[in-house]
Every structure is written in C-alpha cells, then in structure tokens.
C-alpha cells in the first residue's frame, strides 16, 4: 500500500512538473551536448511559430542566431558551468533577448529565452526574486533603478565587474553616477531624464565606467522600463551591463589603423601620421601625454608630442611645444619598433591614472606594428610616386614628341608632341593618329608606325624621316622611331618624334649659302675676266673719242676749203660724195655713238665692280666697318635690271650715317632680296590693272631711305626703310612670310628662302626687321642695325 501511494505521488509530481514546464511563459528548451533540441515547451513553439516536431532535433544556435555570432553563442553555451546568462545579438528574432542556461547533467542543459522588451514587474515578489536570480546567474551585471526615489539595486556580479566586493558596493544612484566616466555623465543624465519624461522605454548604448582602482572599462548598457504609474509614466528600470573593454579597444585600434591608412593614402606628411598614431595610443591607454619619435643611428631626427586636456564634455589632444612644461613623470610606457635596419619608431606614453598593464602594452604594440607597416608602405609608395613623377617630368620635358598608340588611338602624349603636331593642349587623348597627321603620299600613319615597330632594329638604325602634313595643313619634316611596349596591360606602340624642320631649314639655308658662295666665286671670277678687256675697251673708246674730235675738226676745215674750189671737177666729185654719204651727219652721229659707248662701258665697269663687291667672300668671321649707304647703292645697281621696267627707285641717304660693323655682302643680299620682292609686288599689281592710267608706263615707286636714330635706352641704330606701292601682303599671312620655304609665288618661281635668310642675317647682326603692309596699297620694311655691337652685347 505504501509503495502504491509512493508511486501515485511520483506520478502526480511528474504531472505537476510537466504542467509547470508546459505552462512556463518563458520559451524553454532541453539541449544535448551538441546543442540539438531534445524537448521544448509550448512557449517555444509559439515563439518560433513551429510545431514541437518541427523543432525537435534542430540546432538551437542556428535556429536563433545569425551566422556571424553563432560561434560566440555556441562557446558560451558549451561552457562547463552550472548557470550562465548572456545577451543575444544578431538574432533572427525581433526584439531584445537574454539567454539563461543551466546544466542538468553532463550531457544535457536547460535553456530559457527572456524577451526583455516584454518584461514587467511580476505581480508577486516570489516571481520577481526568481527573475533577478535568473539575470544574476550569468556574467552580466544587473541593475534596478527606482527613477523617482533614486534607489538602486546592483547585482553582486555588477559590483565585482567594477572591482568591488558585493557587500561593500553602495546600493544608490548617486554613488553609481560617480563611477560613470566624466565624458559620459551628461549622456547618462540625459538618458534618465528621457526615461522620467516618458520619451523612451528602453536603451542600448556603450559607456565607460571607472573601477574601484580608477581603471576605465567599457560597458554595454541595456535597460527596459518594467513598472509605470497610473499615468503610464516609467517609475522603474531594470537592465544589464556587460564588460566589453577588450572588444572596444580592438575596435578603437582597428579604427586607428583604418584612419592612419587613409591618411597615408591622401599624401599626408609622415609627422601627421605619427601624431595620429600617438593620439590613438593615448586614447587606448588613457595616458596623459606622450611622444612619438623617429630615430636614426640612435639620433632623434623627428619628434612630436601630444597632451590631453579636458574640454567641457570631451578630452582634447593638444600638441606639445617648447612652452609646455612636462608634468612629473609618474608612470611611463616606452615601446620601440624597427622601421628599417638603422631606423626606429619610438612611442613613449606617460602618466596613466593607474598602472600600465599588459593589455596596454599589447594594444600599443599591435597599433605600432601596424603603424610601421603603413609607414614602410607609404615610403615605398612615395618613392614610386617620386620615381613616376621624375619619369613623367623627364618625358614632359623631353624636346622630342612621345606618343603611345593602341589600335591606332593615342593613349599618351607629352607636351612636345602637342607643339610638334600643332594640337591644342590636352586634346589628343583617344584621337586616331590619322586625325592628327598624314603623309603626302596618302600612306596610313598607323600602318607605317606598325611596320616601323616590327623591324626590330636598333634605335639608330630604325629612324625614318618623313615629310608629314598636319591637320591644319602645315607641312613638317619629322623623324620617326617606334617600338612595341606594354602600356596599361595592353601591347602598345611607343613612338618618338623629332622635329627636323629647323634642321632641314638650316640644311637648305646652308645649301643656298653654298650656292650663293659658289655663284659669288663664279661671279667674282667672271667679273675679273670681264674687267680686263673692259679696261682696254674703255681706254680705247676714250682715245677714239679724242681722235674723233680731232678728225671732226679737220674734216670741217677740209669741207670749207673744198667748197672754195668746187668748180674743179675733182673737188666737185669729192663734194658730191660728201653730200651723198652725208659725212657731216656721220661725223656727228659717230660722236654721239662714241659718247654712248663710253657711257655703256662705264656702266659695265660699275656693274662689274658692284658684282665683285657683292660676291666678295669673307675669309674672317669678324665684322668689318663699312659705309651702309655705299652697300645699299651697290645693291640697287645690281638689282636694277629686275625693277627698271616697271618701277622708279628714289633714295634718300642720311649723310651723317656712321660706318657700322657688318658683313657688307650679307647686308647687300638683304637689300637685294627686299628690292626684288618690291619689284615683283609692283609687277603683280600692274598685271592686275590696279594702277591708274595717269601713272604711266612705270607706275611703281620704290623709296629707299637711311637715317641715324637713338632708342629710348640711348642705343644708336642705323635705320633702313624700303617702301613700295605694290600689291601688298594680306594680313593673314604676314606672320608667316619669314618662315622658311613660305612663298606666295607660283611653284618654281621662288625658293621661299629669301626673307627667311634675310631675317637670319639681320638677327646675326643683332638687328631687327619689321613689316608694315596694306593690301593693294604697298609694303614697308624697316631694318634697324646697331652702330656698335659691343654696346649692343653689353645691353643684352
């Protein structure tokens, strides 16, 4: 009977326990050692909206938590402790939850899930006590604030978290507030003000707290209103604090590494990066001040410091300078890092509120190691950037044009190539090379460059000269050299361009000079050969004129005598022949002919003398003093045959013009070029019928003037002006008339070098040549030549 009653009691107790399990408002689970669900109550099925059989065998951690936090929760549940409690973060469930776990055997444990959002003050004190005991069973510090009375309750675990013995921790709000870090107190006061006025009914934030020994820790604070008055205003809040110091310091260190990395990538100075690392080191250890140094071979090459001052609600880091007096050093944490073989970075921190601990050394060491890596990377990147900048500068400053082509498109170019190819600045990117220049024979430029790059010859063997035509119609001689390279990961062609236009101009001018020299030597030889017979021709003509004069006088006397004896048949026959052959007029015509011949011979002699003067080749490079008026006169005489048919030359020479240092034949060449051009301009205007009829057969007029002038800087010059009333030069080509090979004449009628050579000669004489022209009215060339080259050089 007694055994039967005992069995009944056991069965009844089992029923009561099962009823209590199923009636528990907290979702409850029985888990095996693999954290698989063996059993759950009705609240659990309601929470997850799944049946008992759907939950059976499920992994509890995978059911409640997201993947990134599962390992942490699994570790917490697997601890071999009787009871534990911890918050659930990154949960699939909506709301704020706390997990309570209790081991019931080596292989099983019971887990409860508490929804903190739904906690209200239990109606009887027994259930309230059970709730507190459940919260306190974990590692969280539990607090309970009576908002209106200012009373507080702190769990033993809370006291131990702050370094207090539970029985010695004051259970009041005022004392607790003093343990809140001074930078966070305003935030906490505002928080509880919001609780009192009903603005919030829960909170979740991170704050700092002081421990009994003055050490600062970070805590994760969460709370919930659990009791309200008749006006539904909060009067009681319960929550938890969890020590997250280690995680928070890791976050700060991670933030420091990110910020330092960002500064290193923004071309910040190394000193600013070091100061940022020092600031985070002070923050991590809560030190009062510190220095960061770079030492090389034991000597300090740079040093910066910071110290901490309190602002109204935050700490401010100020730079240490010579005016700052370092406080007495109470505690010191020096750490040294190797930057390279003979160079180190030193972080020295001073005066933490408490003793430096291993965690301080660890955090700063980790930060310093990252700092060194960042500095090494930054220095490497700076070296690369410097090398890249140097290379870019070399390329940009190269006098040769440089192009990089990919598939016929220009991917890179330097400034010299823009100038050489007459392109606007920054406008060649992605242009087809055929849009920039072409060849006169119609060959495709890219195909030509490709073939050039495929030859594989050495640079000195792979240079090809071509005459190109630019997009603006200008023609240039350019040398090409090309080779295949890898550019931006693609096989491209590097092209070097060298402008040969000046070299070709010089070559043509040299050729022209050689021609002129040859012609000059030939002309000098011819003039010399002509001069010898002209000497006796002129002499004989003078003698003949003298003889003719004598003969004419005698013949007139003979004619008078004969007329007295004209009755004589013989005399009559002579007088008849006299009249028949008109001897009187013959004598007169012969006199005129002799005068004309003598004048012609004189002119030939003068022309020969001018040719010899113009064609004379200087054996010395130095200038000689010469009379400019004589040089101009000689040039006018030589060029007279080119201008005498349509033009009249008028000249006005300054008598006070001093002799100037020059090469006479070169100055004469300039004058001849200008006179011949003036004659051609007058001829063209006449051919177009632009002169009036009243101007006669010689409508052209060329004025040549010289004068002596002084500049504003008291430099003396001889000025030559050559003015014509010819066709003139249009304004759009006036800037190009001194360019080599530029000519307005028909092909084959001129070399286009006359004015270019003239410009070079005047520049060689340190002079200046200017142009004024109006279309259909005429042109004036003005030449200034210094009368003293030494003064001119000195003024430069």
Contacts 24+ apart (CB under 8 A), 466-469: 466/439, 467/439, 467/440, 468/437, 468/438, 468/439, 468/440, 469/437, 469/438, 469/439, 469/440
pTM: 0.45
- Sequence-distant (6+) residues with CB within 8 A of 153 are 142, 143, 144, 171
199-219 pLDDT per residue, tens: 998 999 999 998 888 888 999
- What is residue 234's three-state secondary structure? strand
- What is residue 408's three-state secondary structure? coil
Contact 256, 368 (CB under 8 A): no
B/e letters for 757-796, b = 16+ CB within 10 Å, e = fewer, are bbbbbbeebbbebeeebeeeebbebebbbbbebeebeeee
- CA angle in degrees (0–180, nearest 5) for 341-344-346: 165
- Sequence-distant (6+) residues with CB within 8 A of 471 are 421, 422, 423, 435, 436, 437
Cα torsion through 600, 605, 609, 611, rounded to 10: 60
Burial of 402 (0-12, 13-18, 19+ CB in 10 A): middle
Q: Report pLDDT for 432.
A: 92
Report which of 702, 644, 646, 648 is spatially closest to residue 675, judged by C-alpha positions. 702
**Pairing, β 28-31 against β 464-470:** unpaired
- What is residue 108's three-state secondary structure? coil
* Residue stretches of the chain with pLDDT short of 70: 1-17, 19-20, 68-69, 72, 79-90, 95-96, 116-139, 266, 322, 456-462, 509, 512-521, 523-524, 528, 606, 609-621, 694-696, 740-741, 745-753, 790-796
Contact 717, 710 (CB under 8 A): yes
Tell the residue number behind the tokens 């005429």, with chain if given: 778
Contact 752, 624 (CB under 8 A): no
One CATH from 1.25.40.10, 3.30.450.20, 3.30.1490.20, 1.10.3720.10 for 401-499:
3.30.450.20
Q: Report pLDDT for 618.
A: 47
Strand order in the sheet with 315-319: 315-319, 299-310, 289-296, 343-350, 332-340
Q: Report pLDDT for 64.
A: 84
Q: Which CATH architecture has domain 621-795?
A: 2-Layer Sandwich (3.30)
Report which of 584, 631, 645, 656 is spatially closest to residue 765, judged by C-alpha positions. 631
Contact 102, 25 (CB under 8 A): no
- Same fold across 19-118 and 248-391: yes
CATH topology of domain 140-243: Beta-Lactamase (3.30.450)
Say which DSSP state 97 is in. E
600 C-beta neighbours (distance < 10 Å), count: 13
Q: Report pLDDT for 122.
A: 43
Q: Report pLDDT for 107.
A: 83
CATH topology of domain 19-118: Beta-Lactamase (3.30.450)
Report which of 432, 411, 393, 433 is spatially closest to residue 486, judged by C-alpha positions. 411
One CATH from 2.30.29, 3.30.450, 1.20.5, 3.40.720 for 248-391:
3.30.450
Q: Provide the residue ranges of all domains of the chain, joining segments of one domain with +.
A: 19-118, 140-243, 248-391, 401-499, 505-613, 621-795
- Sequence-distant (6+) residues with CB within 8 A of 188 are 177, 180, 207
Q: 3-class secondary structure for 125-178?
A: HHHHHHHHHHHHCCCCEEEEEECCCCEEEECHHHHHHCCCCHHHCCCEHHHHHH
């Amino acid at each position: 009977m007694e055994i039967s009653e005992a069995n009944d009691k056991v069965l009844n107790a089992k029923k009561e326990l099962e009823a209590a399990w199923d009636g528990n408002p907290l979702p409850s689970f029985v888990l095996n050692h693999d954290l698989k669900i063996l059993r759950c109550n009705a609240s659990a099925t309601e929470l997850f909206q799944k049946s008992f059989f759907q939950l059976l065998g499920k992994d509890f951690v995978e059911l409640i938590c997201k993947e990134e936090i599962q390992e942490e929760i699994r570790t917490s549940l697997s601890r071999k402790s009787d009871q534990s409690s911890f918050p659930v973060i990154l949960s699939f469930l909506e709301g704020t939850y706390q997990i309570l776990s209790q081991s019931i055997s080596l292989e099983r444990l019971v887990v409860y899930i508490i929804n903190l959002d739904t906690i209200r003050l239990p109606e009887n004190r027994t259930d309230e006590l059970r709730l507190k005991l459940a919260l306190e069973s974990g590692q969280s510090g539990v607090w309970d604030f009576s908002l209106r009375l200012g009373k507080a309750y702190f769990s033993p675990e809370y006291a131990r978290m702050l370094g207090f013995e539970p029985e010695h921790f004051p259970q009041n709000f005022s004392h607790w507030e003093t343990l809140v870090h001074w930078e966070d107190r305003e935030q906490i006061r505002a928080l509880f003000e919001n609780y009192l006025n009903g603005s919030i009914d829960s909170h979740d934030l991170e704050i700092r707290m002081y421990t009994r020994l003055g050490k600062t820790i970070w805590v994760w604070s969460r709370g919930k209103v659990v009791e309200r008055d008749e006006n539904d205003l909060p009067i009681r809040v319960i929550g938890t604090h969890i020590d997250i110091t280690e995680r928070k310091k890791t976050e700060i260190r991670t933030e420091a590494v990110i910020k330092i990395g960002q500064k290193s990538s923004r071309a910040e100075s190394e000193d600013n990066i070091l100061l940022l690392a020092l600031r985070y080191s002070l923050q991590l250890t809560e030190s009062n001040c510190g220095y960061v140094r770079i030492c090389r071979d034991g000597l300090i090459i740079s040093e910066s410091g910071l110290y901490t001052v309190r602002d109204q609600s935050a700490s401010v880091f100020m730079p240490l300078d010579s005016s700052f007096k370092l406080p007495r050093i109470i505690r010191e944490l020096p750490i040294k890092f190797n930057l390279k073989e003979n160079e180190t970075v030193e972080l020295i921190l001073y005066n933490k509120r408490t003793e430096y601990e291993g965690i301080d050394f660890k955090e700063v060491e980790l930060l310093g190691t990252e700092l060194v890596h960042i500095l090494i990377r930054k220095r490497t990147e700076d070296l690369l950037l410097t090398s890249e900048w140097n290379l870019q500068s070399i390329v940009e400053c190269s006098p040769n044009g440089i192009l990089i082509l990919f598939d016929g498109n220009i991917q890179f170019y330097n400034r010299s190539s823009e100038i050489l190819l007459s392109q606007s600045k920054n406008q060649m990117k992605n242009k087809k090379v055929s849009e920039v220049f072409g060849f006169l024979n119609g060959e495709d430029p890219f195909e030509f460059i490709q073939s050039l790059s495929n030859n594989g010859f050495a640079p000195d063997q792979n240079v090809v000269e071509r005459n190109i035509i630019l997009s603006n119609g200008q023609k240039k001689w350019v040398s090409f050299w090309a080779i295949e390279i890898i550019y931006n990961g693609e096989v491209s062609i590097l092209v070097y361009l060298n402008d040969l236009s000046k070299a070709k101009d010089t070559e043509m001018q040299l050729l022209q000079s050689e021609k002129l020299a040859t012609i000059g030597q030939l002309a000098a030889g011819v003039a010399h050969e002509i001069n010898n017979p002209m000497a006796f021709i002129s002499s004989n003509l003078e003698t003949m004129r003298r003889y003719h004069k004598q003969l004419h006088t005698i013949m007139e006397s003979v004619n008078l005598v004969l007329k007295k004896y004209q009755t004589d048949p013989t005399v009559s026959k002579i007088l008849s022949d006299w009249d028949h052959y008109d001897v009187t007029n013959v004598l007169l015509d012969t006199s005129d002919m002799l005068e004309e011949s003598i004048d012609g011979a004189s002119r030939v002699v003068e022309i020969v003398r001018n040719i010899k003067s113009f064609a004379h080749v200087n054996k010395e490079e130095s200038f000689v003093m010469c009379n400019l008026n004589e040089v101009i006169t000689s040039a006018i005489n030589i060029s007279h045959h080119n201008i005498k048919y349509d033009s009249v030359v008028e000249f006005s020479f300054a008598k006070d013009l001093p002799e100037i240092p020059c090469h006479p034949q070169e100055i004469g060449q300039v004058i001849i070029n200008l006179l011949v051009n003036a004659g051609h301009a007058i001829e063209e205007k006449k051919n177009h019928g632009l002169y009036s009829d009243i101007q006669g057969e010689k409508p052209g007029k060329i004025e040549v003037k010289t004068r002596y002038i002084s500049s504003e800087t008291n430099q003396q010059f001889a000025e030559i002006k050559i003015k014509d009333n010819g066709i003139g030069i249009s304004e759009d080509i006036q800037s190009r008339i001194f360019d080599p090979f530029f000519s307005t004449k028909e092909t084959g009628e001129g070399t286009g070098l006359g004015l270019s050579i003239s410009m070079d000669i005047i520049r060689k004489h340190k002079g200046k040549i200017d142009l004024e022209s109006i279309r259909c009215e005429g042109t004036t060339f003005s030449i200034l030549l210094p009368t003293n080259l030494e003064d001119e050089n000195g003024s430069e």
